[in-house]
Amino acid sequence: MIDRKTIIETISLLKITYPSALKDLGEADLKLMIDVWLNDFKDVSKDEFTKAIQDIRYKNKFFPSVADIKEQLAKNKTTSIPDAEDEWQEVLKLVSRYGSYRQQEALKSLKPYTAKIVQYVGYQNICMATPDEQVWNKKEFIADYNNLKNELIINLQLDNSNIKLLESKGE
């Protein structure tokens, strides 16, 4: 977990990376900033925090806010979530394997939210679709999947989400 020393070292590193940042910050404000960051990142591992700061330093042009850091932490956590296109291909494989009569078995083989999206699009619709209809099914699936991933990033920033919904297989 993050400690005061890590926060101070990180702010010092960021001051070097962004030389014009914090130049007008007084000692009392700097102490307050350290306390706020310590509180906001108290449940984050040092490795996760260091990786997020490194990623920010390499891509951001300006000193990061707490929201910037939390967003990067969330993005780093969601890198293990498969791409929507990959999940669509998995759906098509399962449809081919299980067919239209073994829907429950197919759905149990998917990650929970992928299964929910398939149910929303309609498992039978996917099974029986013509090539033209399948194009629309795919677009709908990918849009819904990407919306979930974006929602998940926002929820992770707010520390109130369960990433397991997308990562694990159904039971």
How far is 58 from 79, CA to CA, in rounded Å? 17
Global pTM exceeds 0.75:
no
The pLDDT of residue 159 is 66
Q: Could you give the maximum distance between any two Cα atoms of the chain, in Å?
A: 69
pLDDT digits (tens, 9 = 90+) for 89-117: 999 999 999 999 999 999 999 988 899 89
C-alpha 87, offset from chain centre: 16
Tokens 């299980």, residue located: 98
Q: Nearest-CA neighbor of 157 among 42, 73, 55? A: 73
| Domain residue limits, the chain | 4-78, 81-167
> 4-78 — its CATH code?
1.10.8
Tokens of 130: 């013509």
The pLDDT of residue 79 is 77
pLDDT digits (tens, 9 = 90+) for 111-167: 888 998 999 999 999 999 999 999 999 999 999 999 988 888 787 777 654 545 555
The pLDDT of residue 155 is 79
The pLDDT of residue 170 is 45
pLDDT range class, residue 171, cuts 50, 70, 90:
very low
Tokens 């707010």, residue located: 158
Whole-number percent of the chain with pLDDT over 70: 92
The pLDDT of residue 119 is 93
The pLDDT of residue 74 is 85
What is the Rg, in whole angstroms, of the alpha carbon atoms belonging to the chain? 22
Average pLDDT over residues 6-29: 94
Whole-number percent of the chain with pLDDT over 90: 74
